[in-house]
Structure 1
Amino acid sequence: MDRSLRRHEIVRHVCWLMALAATVALGRATVIDGESLSLIWPAAGVAVCWVLVSRGSARPWTVLAIGVVVAVGNGVSGASSGLVLGLVAANLTQTLIAAYALEQVVGHLRGCGGREPLVRVGDVGRILLVVLGACLPAALIGTATLALLDSPVSEMGALAWYGRNVIGLLCVVATWLLLLQARAESPNRLGAFVAACFGSRREGLPMRFAELALLLGLTLLPWAGIGTRPDDLLFVLLVLMIWAGLRFAAPAVVAYGLYSGTVGVGFTLADGPALRAIEDPVMLALHVQVVVAVTALTGLALALNRAERDAVVAELAATAREQEAEATKMARILDTVADGLIVIEPDGSISLSNRAARELLGVEDLTSVLTSEEYGLHAMDGKPVRDEDLPYRTALRGESFPARDYQVRRPSVPAGRVVAIGALPLPGEPVRALAHLRDVTAERRQHEALSSFAGVVAHDLINPIALVQGWAETIAVELEDGPLDPAIGAPMVERIQVGAHRMRSLIDDLLGYTLARDAQVLPQAVDVTALVEEIALLRESGPRRPIVQVEPRLVAWADRALVRQLIDNLVGNSIKYTDPDLRPVIAVTGRQQGSWVELRISDNGVGIPPDQREAVFTAFERGGTALSSGTGLGLAICKQIVERHHGTVHAEAGPHGTGTTIVVRLPRTPAAYDEPQGGAVKESVPAQRVAIS
């Protein structure tokens, strides 16, 4: 064992030894003249507490020390050796029985082997039963010893002996258990003292201490016979004890009971006026014990009732806080769920909804009854949904409703929304419904787009395939009649090549569209000016030989490969949609918009009609110009690339009212890549252009 720990144990046992010696001396000092009976015997409680704190091998030594102290204390006060032996036997029997029984009956309490505080009145009742049972053998041993020593004790004397042990043991053990709890609740001695006096209520401490001092002072008056008659003594002390029980903590109340009893014993020994009318010393002792017992138990019951009530209230408050915290946590979790959740009560009212549900239905407050008219629910054919056909109605009947698509048409949802709503019954009574909402607008639109996409692809592939197949069959027929004249076969082969080229162009554009949509974006600093120059050099060897003008020092934070595809498509479109009699002229300029860069690609082509400038970015839309050709995927690919960089793209008229200007907005810095679009436009002076012809 560690030396410091062993030293601490030794000091603790020495303190208990001194406390026992002091209480034995106090008890012997209250022996009634002519009787071998003490009015009080607090040593009974101190001995039990000492045994309870002694564990293992220390307990036998503690029992031996208790026997020695009791023997010495009684021997010094003049008791005969026979009486000393009897009193030692009585005290040890009482101590061992009480300690063992307390560990068995209330072993859950702090001080008796457990960790729980003494706050229940039921535990006090159990302690009282243990004390009553333990003190009975001691009283029998004591009275039998006196009888053997020719000093018989009357029945009332034996009862007084039994009563003083019961009161001493009960009050001291109860006080000790309550003080242990107060010490456990506070890390320092001052805090423990305040907790023992006032519990958890620490407000107005000076006034509370003044109140306690007043109570202690007033307790002297009835015992001194001031302002009360002897017959009123118990009533007045009960009033004071009720005051203590209602205002102070349980340890202070029990300690006050000991204080009141000690004061009573002192006035009794001093022949105080309160009990002067009682001449029989045994009856006087019984009277004092009854007064102390009734007041102490009353105060203890009141204090513990209040402590138990406070503990229940605190537990309920803690449970309420935990439930509130759990509800708040669940509400936050539900609000992070992308799908909408609504709990509907049997009367149709809504008891719970998350943020997604409110956003999907386009309402701020989702507490009223869910009706199709109020929330703008329509079937997919446009007809309003009858309230009795809503999904949650089926769930309230105990059946699950599989998800079905509904349209939400409300002023707060101007573009409309398609929501898949399903419902299922929640377990328990009464049956409630859980409605599940999921936004499927994008899925339905994508499904429609894929259907349209498949139709257009099939149409655009069938034509060149039919062309190739038709001319191939024609060549085969011609070859059946003999060698084919090159003058006749050459045009046929050329037409087959045209069809194959159209199929190849469509397939290439489809692959480009897919890559622009699905390829991983790896952003980095991209020199847009260098890319334009590179593309212009490659186009220079083509049949149209465009003139490309580009501003220097144009930089974006983007995927280099995708931006190259973007520029190449835009330059190619400008060349394709320029009158064959004109040489294409393309100007690429830029300006800074905060942390974004705006690129403007202008040409001298045929232009795009105003009513088609938005539609041309749709897949397979070729525009309504005389030069319309190709697959109609070029600008759709550009839009995919720009949107994957969180940017925007749109078409405008050319700078001089002719041709077209495509305006592209891309991130300019790494921080801008994840920023929402916006910010004030900061005009910049165009730099000198570099012409490539």
Structure 2
Amino acid sequence: MACVVARLDPRAPAVLVFETVAVAACYYAAGRLGLTQDLTVDGSVVSPIWPPTGVAVACLLLLGPRCWAGIALGALFVLMSLTSLGWSSLGLLVGNTAAPVCGYLLLRKAGFRSDLARLRDGLALVFLGALGPMLISSSVGAGLLAATGDLPAPAFWTVWLAWWVGDAMGVLIVTPVLLLIRRARPALRWSRSAEAAGLAVVAGCAVPLATHHHISLLFLVYPLLIWAALRFQLVGSMLCALFASVMATVAAARRLGSFEQLSEVETMIKLQVFNGTMALTALLLSALITEQRNTRRSVERACQELVEVLEHLTAGDTAPNRAPPDQEVRRRAEDG
């Protein structure tokens, strides 16, 4: 009997440690970036967009569930930079780790594909990766703050909503960008490069104007999203949505433009509604366009293959070494 001995790769532990440290560093950097622009709602500081959730879901989709330790370690570093650790910090750590892991498991159960080339992938990311699982982190976080007395009871639902939407926006805006960077392909044609440069210039001028002008001009962002989705699919639309979201968040945090005369709660609601509708428009529209284009290419490829088959059959029927049909029938009758 042959004996098969499984050999363990000696590099596996080192690779795992490197991935864990890299994921923790990316999570912590994203957390510090998210804390640069925050809002105060009922005396509590919240982040309108929490990028670490998007980083965590993207790392899980790219590296697998083994990177959960890096997510937990990064969340621990973020908590240590904000407050002293206690028993409530352990609950926050568990909630911030469990939410993206649950999102990853739900996405894998639904057959999610990281290229986001199907409409069902966009819908899965919205409901199974963002809105559903982030209820865990927001409920655990706001519940612990209320239980420890750090959050007044009347402000619970406002803070809970801001926490939930901020975590969900991190997944909707940051995760697609990270997934697409991995699959990015340069070397566009000159005409496409010129159009992409033109779109970048127009967005660089129109988005700051729309978000910082005292007249509410946020609607000017949507034609740019449609342009980017039609011409550059998910890459263009999500980069445009990310830029517009950052500009709007900066304007809201500094009370500029159309956010100037609003209260804290009104500012939070207006910003979150704008970020949410913009992210949904960019993600779902570009996924739908990509799916339709892939379907059209598949149909064209099938038609081309059918034409080649018909040409081959036609050439075989008219081959010189083959008798005409009537002579073939007469010969078979004589032989029979």
Query: What TM-score range do you get, normalising by the shorter chain?
Result: 0.7 to 0.9
Note if 1:43 corresponds to 2:52.
yes
1:128 shift after superposition: 1.6
2:327 partner SS: strand
Note if 1:292 corresponds to 2:243.
no
2:44 partner SS: coil
What amino acid sits opposite 1:97 in the alignment? C
Contact 1:48–1:98 (Cα < 8 Å) also in 2: yes
Equivalences for residues 164-175 of structure 1 within 5 A = 164-175=166-177
Match of 1:162 in 2: 164
Contact 1:39–1:164 (Cα < 8 Å) also in 2: yes
User: Taking structure 1 as the reference length, what is the TM-score of the superposition?
Assistant: 0.43
Match of 1:279 in 2: 263
**CA offsets, 1:371-414, max 9 Å, x none?**
xxxxxxxxxxxxxxxxxxxxxxxxxxxxxxxxxxxxxxxxxxxx
Contact 2:177–2:239 (Cα < 8 Å) also in 1: yes
Match of 2:144 in 1: 145
**CA offsets, 1:343-398, max 9 Å, x none?**
xxxxxxxxxxxxxxxxxxxxxxxxxxxxxxxxxxxxxxxxxxxxxxxxxxxxxxxx
1:249 partner SS: helix
Match of 2:202 in 1: 215
Equivalences for residues 514-529 of structure 1 within 5 A = none
Contact 1:242–1:299 (Cα < 8 Å) also in 2: yes
What amino acid sits opposite 1:301 in the alignment? L
| Change over 3 Å in CA distance of 1:263–1:86 after alignment to 2 | farther
2:132 partner SS: helix
What amino acid sits opposite 2:165 in the alignment? G
| Change over 3 Å in CA distance of 1:31–1:224 after alignment to 2 | closer
What amino acid sits opposite 1:243 in the alignment? W
Note if 1:267 corresponds to 2:251.
yes
Pick the aligned partner of 1:325 from 294, 301, 308: 308
Contact 1:24–1:42 (Cα < 8 Å) also in 2: yes
1:82 shift after superposition: 4.9
2:318 partner SS: helix
1:124 partner SS: helix
Return the alpha-carbon distance in structure 1 between the equivalents of residues 96 and 143 of structure 2: 14
Work out which structure has the larger RCO, using CA pairs closer than 8 Å and 6 or more positions apart in sequence: 2
Contact 1:42–1:172 (Cα < 8 Å) also in 2: yes
The number of aligned residues is: 320
Match of 1:229 in 2: 215
| Change over 3 Å in CA distance of 1:211–1:9 after alignment to 2 | farther
What fraction of aligned residue pairs are identical, expressed as a percent? 21
Pick the aligned partner of 1:123 from 104, 121, 124: 121
1:27 shift after superposition: 2.0
**CA offsets, 1:268-326, max 9 Å, x none?**
2222223112122x331222111011012112222122211110111111111111111
Match of 1:134 in 2: 133
Match of 2:4 in 1: none
Return the alpha-carbon distance in structure 2 between the equivalents of residues 176 and 248 of structure 1: 16
Match of 1:21 in 2: 28
Return the alpha-carbon distance in structure 1 between the equivalents of residues 199 and 17 of structure 2: 35
> How large is the Cα RMSD of the aligned pairs?
2.9
Note if 1:53 corresponds to 2:62.
yes
Return the alpha-carbon distance in structure 1 between the equivalents of residues 269 and 331 of structure 2: 82
User: Taking structure 2 as the reference length, what is the TM-score of the superposition?
Assistant: 0.84
1:40 partner SS: coil
Return the alpha-carbon distance in structure 2 between the equivalents of residues 46 and 125 of structure 1: 19
Larger radius of gyration: 1
1:309 partner SS: helix
Match of 1:654 in 2: none
Bigger strand fraction: 1
Bigger helix fraction: 2
Equivalences for residues 468-483 of structure 1 within 5 A = none
1:89 shift after superposition: 2.2
1:43 shift after superposition: 0.4
What amino acid sits opposite 2:170 in the alignment? G
Match of 1:544 in 2: none
What amino acid sits opposite 1:339 in the alignment? A
In structure 1, list runs of 5 or more residues that go unmatched.
Answer: 111-116, 195-201, 342-418, 423-436, 444-693
| Change over 3 Å in CA distance of 1:266–1:79 after alignment to 2 | farther
1:41 shift after superposition: 0.4
2:168 partner SS: helix
What amino acid sits opposite 1:122 in the alignment? R
In structure 2, list runs of 5 or more residues that go unmatched.
Answer: 1-7
Match of 1:311 in 2: 294
Match of 1:30 in 2: 37
1:36 partner SS: strand
Return the alpha-carbon distance in structure 2 between the equivalents of residues 148 and 271 of structure 1: 32
Note if 1:249 corresponds to 2:241.
no
What amino acid sits opposite 2:139 in the alignment? L
Return the alpha-carbon distance in structure 1 between the equivalents of residues 190 and 304 of structure 2: 23
Equivalences for residues 495-644 of structure 1 within 5 A = none
Return the alpha-carbon distance in structure 1 between the equivalents of residues 13 and 75 of structure 2: 26
**CA offsets, 1:608-646, max 9 Å, x none?**
xxxxxxxxxxxxxxxxxxxxxxxxxxxxxxxxxxxxxxx
Contact 1:67–1:92 (Cα < 8 Å) also in 2: yes
